[in-house]
Amino acid sequence: MKTVLVVDDEPTARIAMAARLKRLGYRVIEAVDGKSGLDALRRERPDLTILDWMMPDIDGPAFCERVRQDPELLTSQILMMTSHDQPEQIAEGLARGADDFLSKAASKYEIMARVQTGMRAASLIRRLEDVTEEIRRKQQMLERELQSAARYVESLLPVSGTIGPSVQMVCLYRPSLALGGDLFNIVSWSDDLLGLYLLDASGHGVSPALRSASLSTFLRRESLLRHIGSSDPGAILTEANKHFPLTENGHYFTIAFATLDVRCGTLSYATAGHNGALFHRRSGEVCWMAKPNLPLGFDPTTSYLTEELPVAPGDRLYLLSDGLYEVPNSNGDLWGQGRLEETIRRFGTCPLAEVVPGCVSEAIRWQGHEQFPDDVALMGVEVMDTDT
């Protein structure tokens, strides 16, 4: 049953209105002044409030103002009663928060019509409130799911530290609110032979995180030995390309895969549509390693070629996602690969443990806030001097 609150200090008028409303089938609550009216409104949350303009202490317009300032009550429907029906007065009442007016001289048909109009508005507002609440709850649920997927991805990542007798690795992962599909890891072929990769699944949400986890399972040591039988990056990406076609929505991976042979002093690598691979020699020379080529899944017949670089102690490899450098400042200008390269150059031979977080701090300084629009992943690897 719909409830109406009648607030009027004058007993006769109040009782008469209450009786009328009861006859129309409403549940009626009566309040004898503004203060007890506000209490009743808070306590009972009626569908409609019929309010007298003239009352001591809190009059009708003051009542409305208080309701509109109270976040709990502000959507209440208020029908204000007045014996004056001057246009200026009606305008003032509406401006101070009433939804509609009812003359004290109104006929029973007009009262019925106005009350019904108020009820219609009230039920629309209620529905809107319910739907908003439902959306808020679902949004929260979605965010919790994304956070739990992000924690799962994090659990798959390697831990910074020594990853071979003379190889040090420092990494950093910052999932975005929407969660992208960045993932990186190490494949230990032997003490001296290490696979290093960083991949980025297109799209946002739980789905790219799942696809990334699936590709990283394919890239585990045992799986690679079974499917490819070699540590050759080009062969690995060529095979991965066949196993991970485009999804029906056109989603795919970009990836950089490198194999570091410490004993022979070589770094062999292949990339698939992934630009985030940078080599920094101890001498200071910096080069981006990727060549233009197709991401995984774009063409099942693609062969990915292995390139090779000599590696000496003190040289560093950085694998990273575009989320690190595709960050706009307030003018919309991207930080870009050039500025990232400059930052790495400036850090020179500072320890990796400073360079990796330092690059992320520079990107944050550029965009002016902490929250990256996309996932950020960065892995730095350094070959150490063996004789020290």
The two tokens of residue 151 are 């924690």
Residue 37 within binding range of other proteins, rule CB under 8 A: no
Residue type at 246 in one-letter notation:
L
Q: Which is it for strands 277-280 and 266-272: parallel, antiparallel or unpaired?
A: unpaired
Residue 321 within binding range of other proteins, rule CB under 8 A: no
At closest approach, how far in Å is the CB of 328 from other proteins?
13
Rg of the chain (C-alpha set): 34
d(CA 237, CA 228): 10
Q: Find the binder of other proteins among 166, 275, 321, 343 (CB under 8 A).
A: 275
Q: Find the binder of other proteins among 246, 334, 364, 384 (CB under 8 A).
A: 246
Residue 88 or residue 248: which is nearer to other proteins going by CB?
248
Residue 185 within binding range of other proteins, rule CB under 8 A: no
d(CA 260, CA 340): 23
At closest approach, how far in Å is the CB of 199 from other proteins?
13
CB atoms within 10 A of CB 142: 13
Residue 37 or residue 273: which is nearer to other proteins going by CB?
273
Q: Which stretch binds other proteins (CB under 8 A): 140-148, 242-250, 357-365, 378-386?
A: 242-250
Residue 251 within binding range of other proteins, rule CB under 8 A: yes
Coil, strand or helix at 273: coil
The two tokens of residue 84 are 């004056």
Residue 75 or residue 302: which is nearer to other proteins going by CB?
302
Residue 60 or residue 203: which is nearer to other proteins going by CB?
203
Residue 288 within binding range of other proteins, rule CB under 8 A: no
Angle between helices 206-218 and 233-243 (to 10 degrees): 130
Secondary structure letter of residue 83 according to DSSP:
S
Q: How far is residue 94 from each of residues 68, 114, 183, 228, 364, measured CA to CA in Å?
A: 12, 15, 58, 77, 48
Residue 293 within binding range of other proteins, rule CB under 8 A: yes
d(CA 14, CA 127): 30
Q: Find the binder of other proteins among 34, 60, 118, 273 (CB under 8 A).
A: 273
Residue 241 within binding range of other proteins, rule CB under 8 A: no
Residue 323 within binding range of other proteins, rule CB under 8 A: no
Q: Find the binder of other proteins among 166, 202, 238, 321 (CB under 8 A).
A: 202
CB 9 within 8 A of CB 16: no
At closest approach, how far in Å is the CB of 274 from other proteins?
9
Residue 104 or residue 243: which is nearer to other proteins going by CB?
243
At closest approach, how far in Å is the CB of 288 from other proteins?
11
CB 179 within 8 A of CB 206: yes
Q: How many CA atoms lie within 13 A of 374 on its CB side?
A: 21
At closest approach, how far in Å is the CB of 265 from other proteins?
30
H runs (alpha helix) in 175-220? 206-218
Residue 380 within binding range of other proteins, rule CB under 8 A: no
Residue 11 or residue 300: which is nearer to other proteins going by CB?
300
Q: Find the binder of other proteins among 26, 53, 63, 252 (CB under 8 A).
A: 252
Residue 250 within binding range of other proteins, rule CB under 8 A: yes
Residue 204 or residue 316: which is nearer to other proteins going by CB?
204
Q: Which of 201, 307, 189, 286 is nearest to 250 (CA)?
A: 201
Asked whether the CA dihedral 213, 219, 222, 228 is positive or negative, the reply is positive
d(CA 259, CA 307): 10
Q: Find the binder of other proteins among 94, 112, 121, 294 (CB under 8 A).
A: 294
Q: Which stretch binds other proteins (CB under 8 A): 46-54, 75-83, 108-116, 196-204?
A: 196-204
d(CA 94, CA 202): 52
At closest approach, how far in Å is the CB of 198 from other proteins?
15
Residue 298 within binding range of other proteins, rule CB under 8 A: yes
Contact positions vs other proteins (CB under 8 A): 202-204, 246, 248-252, 254, 273, 275, 292-295, 297-299
